[in-house]
Amino acid sequence: MRKIVPIIMSICFLAASLSSCASNSTANEQSSASQEQVATDNEETTDNEETTDGEVTMEDEASKVSIVTTIFAPYDFAREIAGEAATVTMLLPPGSESHSYEPSPQDIITIQNCDLFIYVGGDSDAWVNQVLDSMDTSDMKIITLMDCVDVVEEEIVEGMESDHRHEHSNDEYQGHDEEDYHEHNDEDDHNHDDHDHDEEAELDEHVWTSPRNVKLIVQRMSDMLCDIDADNATNYQARATAYQEQLDELDAKFQAVFDTATRNTVVFGDRFPFRYFADAYDLEYFAAFPGCSTETEASAATIAFLIDKVKEEGIPVIFHAELSNQKMASTISEETGAKVLELHACHNVSKDEMENNATYIDIMNKNVENLKEALN
């Protein structure tokens, strides 16, 4: 069902001017070749597609539903639901920072030519509206993940700093003792919970971090695919139901961790993209930045606060997000002895993870194990 629609040059020029909610420090450097890196078993080249007689089935490949997603989580959901009935493409190159992604001209063409386009919504995807406004979307179905669930505002918890509070890199304090953190710059030693309430609240966009939300997202995706491709509706529905059962099992595993844990607090030496997850399981947390912050290095006061929190509550693990430089978590670990572990939010995966066919379920099951260690 892939359609070929001419793309006018103005769309290509548009890509260069687009920006996301984060800084451009890791802007998308890959060209159209990046999409080849994220081809899955669902999207084999026509050279590899054969009939039982060994003949290339180009027509069969062209007749498949074409699905394009921006990041890893919906990409994985789509390939689970669609199976062999669709080709699924992820725009974000493996190993790239999701919050600073910018589309290439080829990415825009890929969006234009798809049957179903899936993106998150929110400030990180501000570029999407500009792209969609520039093209004819009458033959395209579109899903926004934030429209599939009840959304909440991004939260600034005690000790957390918002973007405008960042003044000092934690690199300045590597190798110093805890006293240095407390004594450096008195103006940083105020309560970070006293943030600027006059700023417009930002909706948290990391809706897929809760398996309960994913069930709703999967249902919306299944319904949309059934509408696009009625001939395969029974298959889509069956696969969606089977996947939702896996999500129920995952949900039960997380709930069991929290039901038996000796504590319910985690410390995150990083951005915290798990607001919906935390709400689902009544998890208390402290972190350096909210999930969609443009910052990656915290001030001395923020690091000192997190160090104190780890020591006060005997926290055994300091978490970092996937694809993080881990500097902040390592600094806190050196001062407290806490172990550094990853809590993976499934924005994106590494090249190795993609090549090894990592899935949302696999990644979240690893999170189950890491949370067991952190909460006991």
Ordered by start, the domain boundaries in the chain are 9-151+206-248, 163-200+252-374
Q: In order along the chain (376 residues), what is the average pLDDT of each group of 10 residues?
A: 46 45 41 43 44 56 91 98 97 90 94 98 91 95 98 94 48 42 43 46 93 98 98 98 98 98 97 97 96 81 97 97 94 98 97 97 98 98
Q: The pTM is what?
A: 0.80
Distance, in Å, from the CA atom of 176 to the CA atom of 1, rounded to the nearest integer, reads 60
What pLDDT, on a 0 to 100 scale, did the predictor assign at position 55? 54
What is the token pair recorded at 320?
A: 């970092």
Of the chain, the end-to-end C-alpha distance in Å amounts to 51
CA dihedral of 288, 74, 124, 347, whole degrees rounded to 10: 30
Q: How far is CA 77 from CA 217, 231, 297, 346, 355, in A?
A: 9, 20, 32, 11, 17
Phi-psi domain of 185 (left: phi exceeds 0; alpha: psi -120 through 50; beta: other): left
Query: Does the domain formed by 163-200+252-374 have CATH 3.40.50.1980?
Result: yes
Q: Put residue 69 in one of left, alpha, beta given phi > 0 → left and psi -120 to 50 → alpha.
A: beta
Q: Do domains 9-151+206-248 and 163-200+252-374 have the same CATH topology?
A: yes
pLDDT at 350: 97
Is CATH 3.30.70.890 what the domain over 9-151+206-248 is classified as, yes or no? Answer: no
Beta strands in 130-281 (DSSP E): 141-144, 265-272
pLDDT single digits (tens) 44-58: 444 444 445 555 466
